[in-house]
Amino acid sequence: MGQCKSCTNRSMSDLVDGVNQFTVTVSREADQKLGVELDFMDEKTGRVIELDPDGALAKAGTNLKQGDHIIAVNGSSTATRIMTRMKEDLTIEMLVERPVEFRIEVVKGADGVGLDLTHAPRGDTLVIRNLTSKGAIKEWNEKKSAAQVRRLDRIVEVNTIRGPAATLIEELKKEDKLSITISPAPKLIEENLDPVSVQHSKKF
């Protein structure tokens, strides 16, 4: 169970004109783990699944938290380059984007929710791989131009429930009336997504 503490409407200017980005810098010993598990399902960024309190990031007192997206490391972007830098480099400077969540309210009809979803094996979000031509989300987008649900956005909560991806899927299937909290895709991947073959989650 959880509440959407940072929910807002996507029409607000901070979502249209700007993004919540910051840098995190940490140094570690050669044998020290960074202590972070990342979800690379969008194949461009690493979304934080879990932080290890004994890892270099936590011990350094960084403000990185679950749900943040690492969009570049030491100047390198895309999933495979981020993985390489986090594995090999001892001094890490990460560009991080913290999504501002928003909530939508829909009712399923005969065409269902209308989303093609996927998730990381240990992920706690549902990645919107595609929107279908019919369904509740299409109807929502047609009515709510300022709060559009888009490809590669993530579902993080359904009817106040947060948790493993399987739990979110179960709630989407079970209920017709749905309150869905969306974590928007990072700005850099809204266009020009080049598919690559990467591991969909990895610990560092």
Residue 94: which residues within 8 A CB-CB, separation 6 or more?
23, 24, 25, 64, 70, 72, 73
pLDDT tens readout for residues 52-108: 999 999 999 999 999 999 999 999 988 999 999 999 999 999 999 999 999 999 999
Q: Which 3 state secondary structure label does DSSP give 47?
A: strand
Q: Which CATH number fits domain 21-98: 1.10.3720.10, 2.30.42.10, 3.20.20.60, 2.60.40.1840?
A: 2.30.42.10
pTM here is: 0.81
pLDDT tens readout for residues 73-85: 999 988 999 999 9
Topology match between the domains 21-98 and 102-189: yes
Q: Which CATH number fits domain 102-189: 3.40.50.300, 3.20.20.190, 3.40.50.1370, 2.30.42.10?
A: 2.30.42.10
Element containing residue 80 per DSSP (H, E): helix 79-88
Strand runs (DSSP E) across 60-125, as ranges? 69-73, 91-97, 102-107, 115-118
Q: Is the pLDDT of residue 110 over 80?
A: yes
Mean pLDDT of 136-156: 92
Contacts 24+ apart (CB under 8 A), 25-30: 25/91, 25/92, 25/93, 25/94, 26/56, 26/57, 26/60, 26/62, 26/91, 26/92, 27/56, 27/60, 27/90, 27/91, 27/92, 28/56, 28/90, 28/92, 29/90, 30/90
* Domain ranges across the chain: 21-98, 102-189
Alpha-carbon distance of 38 to 187, in angstroms, equals 18
Alpha-carbon distance of 40 to 159, in angstroms, equals 26
Q: Both tokens of residue 1?
A: 């169970």
pLDDT tens readout for residues 160-191: 999 899 999 999 999 999 999 999 998 865 44
